[in-house]
Amino acid sequence: MNQAIANKQTWKLANTEVIYDEILDVSDVYLHNHLIASISDNSIKLFDAGYQTATTKSRLNAILSQCGLPGEGIFQKNFEWFIRLWNGSEHFTTEFRDGMRLA
């Protein structure tokens, strides 16, 4: 998945698919046919598609490990998702919001 995103290629294996749109220069990542991420050179948009599952979180964390900043990631506490982000000077934690955009 991450290699397809990095190489701007369309790819599919089992329940995960990357569709690269050459015109928009965006890679959309799908899990079970639900959009979970949209990655461009300038931003990452993250979605849970209504399914805050371990698999969705795993795919999003894999994307963040490749396309995000060091230390960024999604975790769960008391059945609620949170995301750890970098603001330019320090890491901070906030609640995960479907459709959130990281620039």
pLDDT, tens digit, 9 for 90 and up, residues 23-61: 999 999 999 999 999 999 999 999 999 999 999 999 999
Total domains in the chain come to: 1
pLDDT at position 103 over 90: no
Domain of residue 71 covers: 2-102
pLDDT at position 6 over 90: yes
Q: Give the tens place of pLDDT for each residue, 53-94.
A: 999 999 999 999 999 999 999 999 999 999 999 998 999 999
Asked whether the beta carbons of 17 and 50 are under 8 A apart, the reply is: no
Structure token pair of residue 40 = 């461009």
> What is the reported pTM?
0.94
